[in-house]
C-alpha cells in the first residue's frame, strides 16, 4: 500500500474544512492557499471527494465546497478510497477481491488478505474528529 500525494492532500482538505465548522462553504482558493496545494490539483481532488458523496458544492460568487456531515462521521478509510486507486498491499487484491491466476496455489495470499483487512479496518476506525483532537495518540506518547 502506498498512499499517494492525492490521498494525503485529500485528508488535508477534509481536515481544513472540519477545522472551520462555522464556514459551511469554503472557496477552494482559500484552501489551496492555506494548504500550499496548487488550485488545479485541488480541483481534481475535491472533484473525486464530491463525486464520492463526501463534499457538497456551491457555484457562483460565494461558491466553494463544504462537508456534508460532521467530522465524527467521516473515516480516513472512506476519504482515501475516494481518491486512491487501491489501498491493497499487493496488486493481486483490489477492493477485497483477489484478481490473480496464481491465487489457488499461492501460499502468501492469506497473509496479504489479512494485511488488507487489518489496514482497511484501521483506516475505517479513525475519523476526522479523531485526527483533529489527537486523543487517540496522546495516550501512547
Q: Three-class SS string for the chain? A: CCCCHHHHHHHHHHHHHHCCCCCCCECHHHHHHHHCCCHHHHHHHHHHHHHCCCEEEECCCCCEEEECCCHHHCEHHHHHHHHCCCCCCCCCEECCEECCCCHHHCCCHHHHHHHHHHHHHHHHCCEHHHHHHCHHHHCCC
Mean predicted confidence (pLDDT) in 35-48: 96
pLDDT of residue 87: 87
Q: Check pLDDT > 90 for residue 127.
A: yes
Cell of 86: 487501491
Instruction: Give the chain's mean pLDDT.
Output: 92
Question: What CATH number did the domain enclosing 123 receive?
Answer: 1.10.10.10
Instruction: Compare 58 and 136 and report the one with higher pLDDT.
Output: 58
Overall domain count for the chain: 1
pLDDT tens-digit profile of 3-21? 999 999 999 999 999 999 8
Print the domain residue range for 23: 5-138
Average pLDDT rounded to a whole number, residues 103-125: 92
pLDDT at 138 (0 to 100): 80
Whether pLDDT at 98 is above 90: no
C-alpha cell at 135: 486523543
Torsion of CA 126, 129, 133, 138, to 10 degrees: -10
Amino acid at each position: 500500500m502506498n498512499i499517494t500525494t492525492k490521498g494525503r492532500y485529500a485528508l488535508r482538505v477534509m481536515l481544513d474544512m472540519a477545522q472551520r465548522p462555522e464556514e459551511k462553504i469554503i472557496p477552494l482558493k482559500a484552501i489551496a492557499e492555506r494548504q500550499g496545494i496548487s488550485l488545479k490539483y485541488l480541483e481534481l481532488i475535491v472533484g473525486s471527494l464530491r463525486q464520492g458523496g463526501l463534499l457538497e458544492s456551491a457555484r457562483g460568487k460565494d461558491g466553494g465546497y463544504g462537508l456534508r456531515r460532521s467530522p465524527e462521521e467521516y473515516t480516513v478509510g472512506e476519504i482515501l478510497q475516494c481518491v486512491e486507486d487501491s489501498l491493497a498491499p499487493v496488486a493481486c487484491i483490489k477492493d477485497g477481491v483477489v484478481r490473480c491466476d496464481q491465487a489457488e496455489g499461492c501460499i502468501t495470499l492469506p497473509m496479504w488478505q489479512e494485511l488488507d483487512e487489518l489496514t482497511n479496518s484501521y483506516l475505517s476506525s479513525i475519523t476526522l474528529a479523531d485526527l483533529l483532537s489527537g486523543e487517540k495518540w496522546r495516550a501512547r506518547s
